[in-house]
């Protein structure tokens, strides 16, 4: 066994979108999931050109929940349930796709004049067995628990951590937190979750003295309670939860334990059988021939 608290390190795949970069750590060839997290994207920090903005046209999801968390900037979310929500730092947006949902993500109009800021995380949670086809839903949660101790400040986004619990809905045991360390700050990573991982998104940090590479996903050994520390200051994401015994497949924006279900979703989207997004009906993303995110065939 490799000494130290680290079980694996995953270098993200970079996607250059012109005005900003997206770094995708999951799924990877080396690891498909950490707890229920099956997709982990970090984007920015960046400032888009004045007059421009992010415009992710309407697209579908099934059998998963998306979690959007921002450090800077804002995103207008619309979905086929009729939801409109402006995502801002300190608020978690949880969109449950379940049996199927369509949504769009765009920079707010009032941010475009000066050039929108983009810095945050988008992750997908696979829904557990028996809950993959639940009804679609959406929630935006504020007033999340904050823990402050010894030069460390942590926001609990999902689940139970350091004696506090977020009110955000979870379908499987899930932990998710943003940790900000002041110079010399430290915090124990002592959650008993089956699987846990860290990603430094700003600054420098170590885990029991072992350096954590910027933007890499670092998987922690089960049962260990290592110390996260920073000499100069850092922002670090902690994520994980219960391990899944049933394999999940990914194709484009679809996640499922059943490949046939994904094939059906592909056919449904290509033939216009998904619902539309009120207020954003004119555009959509076509089904790609070769998606960037795929774990089969």
Binding-site positions for Fe cation: 59, 61, 103, 105
Extract the runs of DSSP E, i.e. beta strands, from 27-167.
37-47, 55-61, 64-73, 75-79, 84-87, 92-96, 101-106, 117-126, 137-141, 146-149, 152-158, 160-161, 164-165
Would you state the pLDDT for residue 23?
A: 96
* Cβ(66)–Cβ(97) below 8 Å: yes
Q: In this structure, what are the phi and psi dihedrals at residue 280, rounded to the nearest 5 degrees?
A: -150, 55
Would you state the pLDDT for residue 2?
A: 59
Would you state the pLDDT for residue 296?
A: 53
How far is 237 from 235, CA to CA, in rounded Å? 7
> What are the residue ranges in the chain where pLDDT is below 50?
1, 297
Which of 3.30.420.10, 3.40.50.1110, 2.40.50.100, 2.60.120.10 is the CATH number of 6-241? 2.60.120.10
How far is 145 from 155, CA to CA, in rounded Å? 6
The ranges assigned to domains in the chain are 6-241
Would you state the pLDDT for residue 30?
A: 86
Binding-site positions: 59, 61, 103, 105
Q: In this structure, what are the phi and psi dihedrals at residue 111, rounded to the nearest 5 degrees?
A: -95, -15
In the DSSP assignment, the letter for residue 127 is: P
Would you state the pLDDT for residue 15?
A: 81
Would you state the pLDDT for residue 50?
A: 94
């Amino acid at each position: 066994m490799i000494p130290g608290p680290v079980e694996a390190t995953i270098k993200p795949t970079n996607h250059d979108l012109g005005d900003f970069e997206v770094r995708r750590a999951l799924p990877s060839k080396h690891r498909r999931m950490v707890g229920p997290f099956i997709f982990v994207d970090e984007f920015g920090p960046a400032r888009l050109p004045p007059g421009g903005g992010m415009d992710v046209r309407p697209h579908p999801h099934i059998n998963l929940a998306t979690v959007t968390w921002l450090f800077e900037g804002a995103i207008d979310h619309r979905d086929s349930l009729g939801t409109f929500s402006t995502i801002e730092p300190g608020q978690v947006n949880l969109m449950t796709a379940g049996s199927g949902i369509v949504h769009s993500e765009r920079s707010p109009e009032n941010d475009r004049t000066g050039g929108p800021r983009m810095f945050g995380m988008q992750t997908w949670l696979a829904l557990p067995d028996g809950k993959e086809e639940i009804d679609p839903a959406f929630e935006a949660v504020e007033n999340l628990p904050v823990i402050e101790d010894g030069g460390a400040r942590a926001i609990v986004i999902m689940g139970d951590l350091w004696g506090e619990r977020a009110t955000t809905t979870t379908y499987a045991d899930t932990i998710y937190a943003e940790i900000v360390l002041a110079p010399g700050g430290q915090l124990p990573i002592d959650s008993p979750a089956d699987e846990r991982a860290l990603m430094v998104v700003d600054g420098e940090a170590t885990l029991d003295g072992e350096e954590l590479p910027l933007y890499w996903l670092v998987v922690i050994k089960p049962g260990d309670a290592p110390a996260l520390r920073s000499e100069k200051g850092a922002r670090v994401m902690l994520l994980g939860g219960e391990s899944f015994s049933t394999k999940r497949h990914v194709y484009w924006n679809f996640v499922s334990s059943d490949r046939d279900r994904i094939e059906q979703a592909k056919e449904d989207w290509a033939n216009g059988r998904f619902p539309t997004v009120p207020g954003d009906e004119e555009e959509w993303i076509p089904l790609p021939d070769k998606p960037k995110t795929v774990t089969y065939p």
